Structure 1
Amino acid sequence: MKKLSVKLGVLFFIIIFGLITFMFFFLHNEIADSRIEEELQNLQSRGNSHRAILEKNFNDEMIDHVVLMESESNTDVVITNNSGEVLDSSAPFDTFKKYIEVPLSSIPRDGQVVEEKWNQEPYVATVSPIQINHEVTGYVYMFQDTVSFRSLIQKLNEHFLISGWISVVFTMVIIIFLSKGITKPLIKMKEATSQISKGNFSVSLPKTSDDELGDLANSIELLANDLNYLKQERNEFLASISHELRTPLTYIKGYADIVRKRNLPKEESNKYLTIIVEETNRLATLIKELFELAKLDQNSFIIEKEMIDLNKFFTKIDQRFSPIFNEKQMEFTMNCQQNLFLKADPLRLEQIIFNLLDNSMKYSANGAKISLMTWKNKNEIHIAIKDNGKGIPEKDLPYIFNRFYRVDKSRTRSLGGTGLGLAIVKELINAHGAEIVVKSKENIGTEFELIFKEEKK
């Protein structure tokens, strides 16, 4: 029994069959008991009716009349005096003798059942006292053959048996459809996960319902899409790494061979050596940033937060970047709200700001304006870096934080970028529990806004 549909079917059948059996058994007993009780009450009522007639005229003529009426029915009557002597009966007295010998003390006015064991005795019996002038002068015994009771119960059993079989058949049919209805989407999901495990991520599952199975199907599709995206990103990442490593190595090897094999003038030799050094630095930067990303991916780096006075922090940033801005004839302005503190890792925050300012400088022309602004809004601290450089096309905005993604690959390479700076910024922002928002328009400029949640000192 390895199939889930079979297990579910058997489990449902056992539970439902158990419930049906219990309900049928309970209902059968209730109906049988009520029908037997009803028959006994009818027999008692018939005896009480005869008793009422005899109390008006307790004589031989009336006794014969009562006996005659019962001789034509499916019940029998025995009439005795107060001492138990039989006055008359509708059937041979010997048949009923053992029931009449029952002690008759304290019989209620409405009579009582003398024998009710229909499944053990040939008759059931009731007795009604005949009272004249408040004294018991005789008794009316009523008898009914228990064959009719057994016949009634047998018919009842047959009806319940037929109903039971019909219920079992319907239950099995319903369970088969129900178990298949539940397991069919699960089987499709199993096949989909099997395809995913083989590397086929283009799986599609039909929308089954809005319940947990539907949610599971959506989750599997989402997982397949994510894995497909990760596979493509991994392939692109490996291709980009291969390309990024190959290019500087090609330059280094090529120019090193030229310098080694040819007897070049010193000026030309220095030119090639300068290119080799630049490519070596580019390669070292690339490897450093790859190691940085590897640490971020494995969460093996540590964020050591401390309370930072942002005015002092950005003053140091200004001191370090001012000479570079002046050299490129760029206007750098800084506006930081007074008495503003942020709980963050100062080294990582410095790395984030350096990367963003470096980007602004690279993609802005000489004479451009770059600004850094910091302010507090409710329980959030905002840091914005804005420039009026070349901007980012709208179609590229969703991808700028992807590794090795470049808006203008040729221009980025000429500026020395690796395509990893913004990816590192994004990971560091996430590690701080903050968020980064980008607004940009081509030939107008770009603004990066960092939003940190304020933490208590």
Structure 2
Amino acid sequence: MKLIYQQMLAFFILIMTLLLILGFSFFHITREVIYENTWQQLEGYAYSLKNQSMMIQTRKGKQVLTLNVDKLRTSEVLLSNQQVRFTIYTSRNDTLYPKKGYKSAISAKDWKKLEKGKILRRKSDLGWRGPDKQNVQNQQRMTDILAPCFDSSGKLVAVISVGAKVSSIQESFTKIQKNLFYVLLISALLGMLISYFLAHYITKRISKLRKVTRAVANGNFDVKVIDNRRDELDDLAKDFNKMTVSLKKSNEEIRLQEQRRRQFMADAAHEMRTPLTTINGLLEGLVYDAIPEEDKDKSIKLMRNETKRLIRLVNENLDYEKIRSGQIDLRQSSFNGMDVLRNVQEQLRKKADNSGNKLEVNGPQKLEVYADYDRFVQIIFNITQNAIQFTENGTITISAERGHRCSIFRISDDGMGMSDEQLKNIWERYYKADPSRKNTKYGESGLGLSIVQQLMELHKGKVEVTSKLGLGTTFTLIFPDKR
């Protein structure tokens, strides 16, 4: 049995149990109310008989109970139409009226209670009509009350018993019980039908979710669940649709990253093979004395440059992995950012001259920035070097200014610029805006800007880029002040 059906069955059993408890309680309370109302009605009849048909007279110094027989007979006829009987006792076994009417036994214990003025109420009392107690046809089971009557001295002179047939009350109980049974039966049937259809409806909706879940598990991220925005299952469907969109994006990202990784491995292998081949050839030439003496210094310098190129390629990958895995701890402090800009200008001036570029620095003499010094240098160096790489015979400008509780740096060039599609992907690792330049001397790995973005996030800073194809690019770096 499916879980939802089990829950519905348990819920149905719980409801039916509550209904049975409530039904039993209702029947019990109703039964008590009927008895209470019957006793109150019988007491009213008893007091009416006492006041209208019974008198205590004084004869020869004694108080004598006298009855108005005509009124008693009239009352007897009227009450008999309502299946009510009454008997007047003078003692436990002696009846004053009627002589041959209904008579029930009164115990000595009950008589003592009557002598104390207590009205007795009995739910079921077996009495008889006539002298023959053994005749079953003469026996009747009654619900009655016993009301005492006293003279002026407080002596018990009579007891009025007024009773109604138990069968009459039992009929009311039976009707109530039957109606209650029918109500419970109809409620149970309706509850079962409603529970089944609800369980079937919910199970059907869950089955749809299971179906699309299997499709997602098999790699189909284009499935969608209908969301009617009605209940929690629709909320689940909404979250599921968001999940499939997210998984699709993640899957595309993984595929793209894998494609870029493979391209990077191919590029890295190519970039490493070229300097390694150069270094190996030069070393063999030196070993076998195949290089003229006047060219040895030039060969050694070339090997050094190629070695630095390999180190730069390896370091960029190591840096990115350390930053991405959170292994770098920033050591932030306040220093003059303008000094860094001028140092970077000097370091890259030769590279800019080789591309016919002019490298300028604009800003105040001193501009305090709160950052990790080494990482700040790395950020400025990477972006400036990137600008030099994609600019020929142009101008690269590094400017700085003070912002509101922050330091702002801009690196602008008038180079080849980028399209909107390129601009959207420049922060992705292994991405190169211009694949034709993958074999250039600088920016071999495609990780420079990814490292910049990660470092700016570690500084709680912000990096923005604007670019137009053929007109140039501007990077804006915002470093917040110490808090």
Tell me if structure 1 keeps the 8 A contact 2:332–2:373.
Answer: yes
Mapping for residues 212-251 of structure 1, pairs under 5 Å: 212-248=235-271, 251=274
**1:402 Cα offset (Å):** 0.9
**1:177 Cα offset (Å):** 3.8
TM-score by length of 2: 0.75
Tell me if structure 1 keeps the 8 A contact 2:388–2:396.
Answer: no
Task: Report the equivalent of 2:360.
Answer: 332
Tell me if structure 1 keeps the 8 A contact 2:417–2:469.
Answer: yes
**1:315 Cα offset (Å):** 0.7
Please state whether the residue corresponding to 1:94 is helix, strand or coil.
strand
**1:113 Cα offset (Å):** 4.8
Task: Report the equivalent of 1:390.
Answer: 416
Tell me if structure 1 keeps the 8 A contact 2:87–2:101.
Answer: no
**1:10 Cα offset (Å):** 3.9
**1:400 Cα offset (Å):** 1.3
Aligned equivalents of 2:456, 2:28: Cα separation in 1: 74
Aligned equivalents of 2:322, 2:309: Cα separation in 1: 20
Tell me if structure 2 keeps the 8 A contact 1:389–1:444.
Answer: yes
Is 265-274 or 180-189 further displaced after alignment?
265-274
Note the alpha carbon deviations across 1:257-287, whole angstroms, 9 max, x for none: 99999xx998999999999987776555443
Tell me if structure 2 keeps the 8 A contact 1:332–1:369.
Answer: yes
Please state whether the residue corresponding to 1:449 is helix, strand or coil.
strand
Is 420-429 or 85-94 further displaced after alignment?
85-94
Task: Report the equivalent of 1:40.
Answer: 39
Q: Which of these residues, 452, 461, 464, is aligned with residue 437 of structure 1? A: 464
Note the alpha carbon deviations across 1:172-224, whole angstroms, 9 max, x for none: 33333444444545444444444444444444333253645245424532442
Task: Report the equivalent of 2:386.
Answer: 359
Note the alpha carbon deviations across 1:316-353, whole angstroms, 9 max, x for none: 331232353473542422325967342x3322222222
Is 221-230 or 417-426 further displaced after alignment?
221-230
Please state whether the residue corresponding to 2:103 is helix, strand or coil.
helix
Please state whether the residue corresponding to 2:376 is helix, strand or coil.
helix
Judging changes above 3 Å, is the alpha-carbon distance between structure 1 residues 229 and 381 closer, same or farther for their aligned structure 2 residues? farther
Mapping for residues 297-316 of structure 1, pairs under 5 Å: 297-299=324-326, 301-309=327-335, 312-316=336-340
Give the aligned residue type for 1:388. D
Tell me if structure 1 keeps the 8 A contact 2:149–2:157.
Answer: yes
Note the alpha carbon deviations across 1:379-432, whole angstroms, 9 max, x for none: x55443333333221233222111222222214544632321111112222233
2:345 counterpart of 1:321 = yes
Tell me if structure 2 keeps the 8 A contact 1:436–1:450.
Answer: yes
Give the aligned residue type for 1:442. L
Aligned equivalents of 1:81, 1:429: Cα separation in 2: 112
Give the aligned residue type for 1:368. T
How large is the RMSD of aligned CA atoms in angstroms?
4.3
Task: Report the equivalent of 1:143.
Answer: 163
2:192 counterpart of 1:172 = yes
Aligned equivalents of 2:460, 2:19: Cα separation in 1: 58
Unaligned regions of 5+ residues in structure 2, if any? 56-65, 127-139
Tell me if structure 1 keeps the 8 A contact 2:362–2:398.
Answer: yes
Mapping for residues 52-451 of structure 1, pairs under 5 Å: 52-54=51-53, 58-80=67-89, 85-89=94-98, 92-95=101-104, 97=106, 101=111, 103-107=113-117, 112-116=119-123, 122-128=141-147, 138-207=158-227, 209=229, 211=232, 212-248=235-271, 251=274, 284-299=311-326, 301-309=327-335, 312-322=336-346, 324-325=348-349, 327=353, 328-335=356-363, 340-342=368-370, 344-378=371-405, 380-411=406-437, 413-414=439-440, 416-417=442-443, 418-451=445-478
Please state whether the residue corresponding to 2:104 is helix, strand or coil.
helix
Aligned equivalents of 1:18, 1:432: Cα separation in 2: 65
Tell me if structure 1 keeps the 8 A contact 2:362–2:400.
Answer: yes
Give the aligned residue type for 1:240. Q
Judging changes above 3 Å, is the alpha-carbon distance between structure 1 residues 144 and 450 closer, same or farther for their aligned structure 2 residues? farther
Note the alpha carbon deviations across 1:219-273, whole angstroms, 9 max, x for none: 5324422431343134323332233134336656888999999xx9989999999
Please state whether the residue corresponding to 1:122 is helix, strand or coil.
strand
Aligned equivalents of 1:105, 1:8: Cα separation in 2: 62
**1:151 Cα offset (Å):** 2.8
Please state whether the residue corresponding to 1:67 is helix, strand or coil.
helix
Give the aligned residue type for 1:402. E
Structure showing greater Rg: 2
Aligned equivalents of 1:238, 1:409: Cα separation in 2: 14
Tell me if structure 2 keeps the 8 A contact 1:128–1:141.
Answer: yes
Aligned equivalents of 1:8, 1:244: Cα separation in 2: 60
Tell me if structure 2 keeps the 8 A contact 1:438–1:448.
Answer: yes
Judging changes above 3 Å, is the alpha-carbon distance between structure 1 residues 71 and 162 closer, same or farther for their aligned structure 2 residues? closer
Aligned equivalents of 1:183, 1:336: Cα separation in 2: 71
Give the aligned residue type for 1:247. H
Judging changes above 3 Å, is the alpha-carbon distance between structure 1 residues 331 and 230 closer, same or farther for their aligned structure 2 residues? closer
Unaligned regions of 5+ residues in structure 1, if any? none
Aligned equivalents of 1:55, 1:284: Cα separation in 2: 129
State the aligned residue count.
444
Aligned equivalents of 1:305, 1:58: Cα separation in 2: 118
2:44 counterpart of 1:21 = no
Tell me if structure 2 keeps the 8 A contact 1:78–1:89.
Answer: yes
Please state whether the residue corresponding to 1:401 is helix, strand or coil.
coil
Aligned equivalents of 1:107, 1:232: Cα separation in 2: 100
Give the aligned residue type for 2:123. E
Tell me if structure 2 keeps the 8 A contact 1:44–1:126.
Answer: yes
Please state whether the residue corresponding to 2:463 is helix, strand or coil.
strand
Judging changes above 3 Å, is the alpha-carbon distance between structure 1 residues 335 and 105 closer, same or farther for their aligned structure 2 residues? farther
**1:143 Cα offset (Å):** 0.6
